Amino acid sequence: MKRFTAYVFLLALLLTGCGGPADPDTAQESIQVLAMDTAMLITTYGERSPAAAYACEDVIRGLEAKLSRTLADSEVSRLNAAGGEPMEIGWDAYSLLERAAAYSSSTGGAFDITVAPVVSAWGFTEDSFRVPSQAELDRLLPLVDSSQVSVTPSLDSNGDGPKAMVTLGPGQAIDLGGLAKGYAADNILEVLQEYDVPRANISLGGNVLAYGDRPDGTPWRVGIQDPARVGEQNAFAGVLALTDSFAVTSGGYQRYFEQDGKTYHHIIDPATGYPADSGLTSVTVVAGLGEGDGSGFPGTMCDAYSTALFIMGEERALAFWRDETMWGEEGCPFDLVLVTEDGRVVVTEGLADRFTLDEGSGYSLETVSRNGQ
């Protein structure tokens, strides 16, 4: 009877223990953060997942405090208010200014952080939307010129790390919003590695860092919002299967306003001062974590390129993708998913076996290769 009783208790213990502590590899922490003018979701796994998730939040908050254009005390705000006088900035802002200059050069000016005064004229900075007059745009467009931004690295760091002296041209202002979330993703990658996080799913607005794989061993499933069905959360142009990748999407549907029956979105073409009208409705740029030339900023690159290639349009974007000599020193291998106004989804060959078209979207799927087919 004693043996029988022991067996029964053991059985009960095993059965009731099913809801016990989770496998350390699948334990997760998920936190939502409102920062950088967007909603972010940080999901980390592993034994140190809570500490890692909050360390990621700290990184985001720290970068926002330095790089935001709407926080009065940030380095960027103080630089914009400096009236063309030299101002000292820290390593993060310096690093981004250097990359912004490189991306502006490689994209032929399609990416330009000095477009800030024009973006403000449209009211996208302060959410007070309006259509500026052509005369106003003509007055502002000469300020859109990255070559007028002077950056001089300084070795006099006062023990606080490297710094730089920056001078903007008269009347100029910069907005690092087209880079900052990607840069945050790059920095978060270092946090995940530092905390031995086995897998994580980091969503920073339109930026996703798919780190490792899902707990079931399959790739993370990352949906690309269908630009034609923005009111439906489950409406995708397609789904990407990603592991160890950065992915960033830019689209005109993300932020817009309507006036006199016409829709104006927030991605301003630096060449015209108007919302880009390139025939694309969204551009997704995907790059691996380990790719690149050692500069270590593929997330930043994806962020900048998604904006620039949206402005450039399908033909120029694909030409840019094919010709790596155009990428410059800061570029690294990447792939694209382009959604066009005429109902096509164009996928570059590196994503062909990782992209599944949403049959309900009504789009046709095209895969393009580097040799132009």
Partner 1 sequence: MKPFPKLRPTAWDGLVVLCVAALAIVLALFQWRTGPSQGLTAVVSVDGTEVDRFSPEALREGPRTYTGGGYTLEVALSIDYEHPASSALPPSGQTGLCVAASDCPTQDCVHTGTITRSGQSIVCLPARIIVRLEGGEPDVEGVDAVLG
Residues forming contacts to partner 1 in the complex (CB under 8 A) are 1-2, 4-5, 8-9, 11-12, 15-16, 18-19, 32, 34, 37-39, 41, 127-129, 201, 203, 206, 208, 210, 214, 216, 220-225, 227, 230-234, 236, 239-240, 247-249, 251, 253-255, 282, 284
Q: Residue 172 or 225: which CB sits closer to partner 1?
A: 225
> Which letter, b or e, does each residue of 121-149 get, where b requires 16 or more Cβ atoms within 10 Å of its Cβ?
bbbbbeeeeebbeeeebeebbebbbbebb
- Minimum Å gap between C-beta 214 and partner 1 is 7
Which pair of structure tokens corresponds to residue 159?
Answer: 């023990």
Which pair of structure tokens corresponds to residue 100?
Answer: 């912004």
- Minimum Å gap between C-beta 323 and partner 1 is 25
Q: Residue 109 or 275: which CB sits closer to partner 1?
A: 275
Q: Which amino acid is at 81?
A: A
Q: Residue 4 or 260: which CB sits closer to partner 1?
A: 4
Q: How far separated are the first and last CA of the chain, in Å rounded?
A: 78
Sign of the C-alpha dihedral, residues 268, 269, 271, 272?
A: negative
Q: Residue 94 or 264: which CB sits closer to partner 1?
A: 264
Q: Which amino acid is at 58?
A: D
- Minimum Å gap between C-beta 163 and partner 1 is 32
- Minimum Å gap between C-beta 299 and partner 1 is 13
Q: Residue 127 or 353: which CB sits closer to partner 1?
A: 127
Q: Is 205 helix (H, G, I), strand (E, B) or coil?
A: coil
Q: How far apart are CA 102 and CA 39, in angstroms?
A: 28
311 touches 279 (CB < 8 A): no
Q: Residue 224 or 311: which CB sits closer to partner 1?
A: 224
Which pair of structure tokens corresponds to residue 115?
Answer: 């477009």
- Minimum Å gap between C-beta 1 and partner 1 is 5
Regarding beta strands 262-265 and 256-259, do their DSSP bridges make them parallel or antiparallel, or are they unpaired?
A: antiparallel
- Minimum Å gap between C-beta 16 and partner 1 is 5
